[in-house]
Amino acid sequence: MTIGWCFDNTYSKLPDPFREKIDPVPVKNPELVILNKNLSKELNLDFSNIDNNKIAELFSGNSLPPGSNSIAQAYAGHQFGHFTMLGDGRAVLIGEHLSKKKDRYDIQFKGSGKTTFSRNGDGRAALGPMLREYIISEAMHNLNIPTTRSLAVVKTGEDVVREKPLQGAILTRVALSHIRVGTFQYIAARDKKNELEILLNYVIQRHYPNIQNSKNKAIDLLKVVMEKQINLVVNWMRVGFIHGVMNTDNMSISGETIDYGPCAFMDTYDPKTVFSSIDHLGRYAYCNQPLITKWNLTRFAECLIPLIHNDQNKSIEIATETLNSFEKKYEEKWLNMMRDKLGLFGSEDNDKILILDLLTWMHQKKTDYTNTFCHLMGLEIDQNDKFQDDDFQSWKERWQKRHSLNNKNYEKCVKLMRSVNPLVIPRNIMVENALKDADKGNFDSTKKIIGILSNPYLEQKDIINYQAASLSNKNYKTFCGT
């Protein structure tokens, strides 16, 4: 096949404890559902001369491309606070593809069959959750948020059994890497310092070569991963995204959003919003995402203790000092993000109060998170009487007065706001409707949503139905798909 694969598989060369060599389990009747042509071009892959049947054979794992070397990666994780030894239970990494620019990407099949790490699972995935990941991961990419991406979805021609039989599918996921905090936890739990050093050096060489000559590589890696994760979660908060399952095995060392299980976007603003059907206590609620980020980073720091300093107490002291800077760094970046959402240049002492007063009003009045900022940009998505409220009008006067302090004209303020406030997000109801249609064999809704979400900051024709918040946060539940 003259597709353009260029594999250079470095992770598979790490010692045996890091991975299991295993091929995808063949499927009966693979059928291509969707292929991401834009991502294909970015990866310098050309499928134009390959018929859909052969593409389906490829992305089902029935025929592996030359140069691939499929493995299941070992990792651990704190799942809802409880430590577990895990690993790729339903995924295989077929290799690392190099683009013409020499950018390195993991190519992973999700739903590709049992591995050593499957425990009691079947190693398979259902069509709905795989299409859901495709839709939302591509939406996140177009919202300018670091994320794994989706290259293809194929149906397997086999059923998977969950609460009821469902159509089986395999997603091809593309990532800068699939190395997680949980990867470090797995190796640290083996209590072999030499393996931990191998992983540390591998990650730095692959992702952060600028700290390769650092005097203390371990602490500098902690600092850079913390910075990446703060930036990532601030972006989630910007668009109302709720990950839903922020276990340590779902925190990527590269700083990408990974694992779109019970995730969703908030409609009505409520900081305690939870969509995940398994998050009964709200551990991963919208407002808790920054707190959990620091908690996960603390687990990462614990793994690095043997490498930070020879004296354990000194090592803990250094790591703690780094982690203690989290809150200040996060708040500063969050405030700047919110200033951008409100079109505020520079900084003023009362900015935080102004921002919190708006969010408090939104919470009390149960306004839509995305559409409130659209209203402030002069875009009336829906005719909402709440915006005529006296308290809101009073707040708006304060906001406009704050604008005048910058000596910036209104057009520049709106331009700033338009760069960070999406006009359309993956609304829960539109995603669910597309998945229902897909289950019946109609993929038109899925493709239309993907097209609309490819330009979330631009005004588009006939998308009002995709902008209305018509599904209650309170009643909507998402599921992990396993």
Could you write out the three-class secondary structure of 369-412? HHHHHHHHCCCCCCCCHHHHCHHHHHHHHHHHHHHHCCCCCHHH
Listed residue (184, 228, 192) closest to 207, CA to CA = 228
Catalytic positions, please? 249
**d(C-alpha 355, C-alpha 213), whole Å:** 42
Q: What are phi and psi of 473, to 5 degrees?
A: -55, -35
Q: Exposure string (b/e) for 429-450, b if CB count within 10 Å is 16 or more?
A: bbbbebbeebeeeebebbeebb
Q: Which helix (H) or strand (E) holds 129?
A: helix 127-142
CB atoms within 10 A of CB 458: 10
Assess contact for 343 and 413: CB atoms under 8 A.
yes
E strands, 176-212, in order = none
**d(C-alpha 371, C-alpha 268), whole Å:** 9
Residues in contact with 385: Cβ distance below 8 Å, sequence separation at least 6, in sequence order: none
Residues in contact with 229: Cβ distance below 8 Å, sequence separation at least 6, in sequence order: 251, 255, 293, 296, 297
How is residue 10 written in tokens?
A: 């470095």
Assess contact for 58 and 81: CB atoms under 8 A.
no
Q: In a 3-state reduction of DSSP, which class is residue 177?
A: coil
- What does 43-74 look like in DSSP terms, one character per residue? TT---TTS-HHHHHHHHHTSSPPTT---EEE-
Per-residue DSSP letter, 17: G
What type of residue sits at position 381?
I
Assess contact for 244 and 261: CB atoms under 8 A.
yes
Q: What are phi and psi of 411, to 5 degrees?
A: -60, -40
Report the DSSP beta bridge partners of residue 165: 161
What type of residue sits at position 80?
F
Listed residue (92, 60, 66) closest to 2, CA to CA = 66
